[in-house]
Amino acid sequence: MKTTLANSLNPAQTADFLPLEGTDYVEFYVGNAKQAAHFYMSAFGFKALAYAGPETGVRDRASYAVRQHKLTFVLTTPLRGENPIADHIYKHGDGVKALSLRVQDATRAWEETTKRGALSYMEPQRMEDKDGEVVISGIHTYGDTVHLFIERKNYGGAFLPGYRAWSNPHFQPTDCGLLYVDHCVGNVGWNQMNKWVTFYEEVLGFKNILSFDDEDISTEYSALMSKVMSSGNGYVKFPINEPAEGKKKSQIEEYLDFYNGEGCQHVAMATNDIVHTVTELKKRGVEFLQVPTSYYDTLLDRVGSIDEDLTPLKELGILVDRDNEGYLLQLFTKPVEDRPTLFFEIIQRKGAISFGKGNFKALFEAIEREQESRGNL
């Protein structure tokens, strides 16, 4: 099997029993939410948004919501040891717990998905405060990761009921031009990719828009396979990776070993000016994977003409690739924990709606070099 690109998305063709308005927020379970929130503000340019914890009547955890344009992260930590959040961190280290999706009707989203086979994580719950009401429901996906459905059309507060507005007038980092979640990638176990492809097709009504097999994405030593799942309107994309056999250990296997199971590999954040964004992030200490400078020697032969000047792209190590609709610019951070697990992608789309094989392979090779330096290849 070779790389396959399905027909362009046509919303009319999809029976949209689960209309998704996009990603509402990504929640991370972390060992120290106060410090993690500071990291996302100081390194990535997020702003303080809202806080929940003992002072707001939440007894078992502290959560900090930070925001940059339409991108909202929540950093949550347990306050005591006997707690499912503590168990999650003990098992996985810091990582993504919830990929939360904005819907008009969270009760219907839960009914439609559980009817189609999803395992319930949270029955629809109505939460109220003086700013209105929010309905939240949730289902399990791969590993210990969940999808929450967030209905907030009747809410005007800072973030969610239970939170209070939070800001620090003395610490207002300027933003880095990060706009919204472009996609979130899941790493699943051996021979599990197609199971989860079917899950996203049948339970959430997604389409498989692109596939890479182990001939596309491999080196002399290791390999992976990947399928890109997209919601009917294209607002939510969840690529799914699984390890493939090679002479040495697949980088997906390294992730599965250190995360202790399946989970979110990376969250991609969109920008309209990747040169500006990456320049800012590097200045603030964010570390990126590097490609060999030879990557740029044949770049324009591979992708054709692009609007950007090649010099800053090369200086910053930004990758360029193309699909049938246009091109895209990408760059990947190193893992943001000591475990080789979660990392971030910065992406600027110039017409492209999916992904290119060349960048996927360049990412794969860059991770493999890091993997080898960790002694895990």
Tell me which residues touch Fe ion (CB under 5 A). 268, 345
Smaller CB separation from Fe ion, 160 or 236: 236
How remote is the C-alpha of 166 from its chain's centroid? 24
Smaller CB separation from Fe ion, 116 or 334: 334
The answer to whether 63 touches 74, Cβ cutoff 8 Å, is yes
Smaller CB separation from Fe ion, 112 or 321: 321
Nearest to 367 by CA among 338, 339, 317, 332: 332
Nearest to 39 by CA among 66, 61, 62, 63: 66
Cα 113–Cα 119–Cα 123 angle in degrees, nearest 5: 75
Report in angstroms the alpha-carbon separations of 95 from 30, 38, 130, 193, 304: 7, 16, 32, 20, 37
Nearest to 95 by CA among 204, 187, 230, 22: 187
Smaller CB separation from Fe ion, 73 or 149: 73
- The one-character DSSP state at 142 is S
**Residue at 72: amino acid letter:** T
Smaller CB separation from Fe ion, 25 or 360: 360
Beta carbon of residue 242, minimum distance to Fe ion (angstroms, whole number): 15
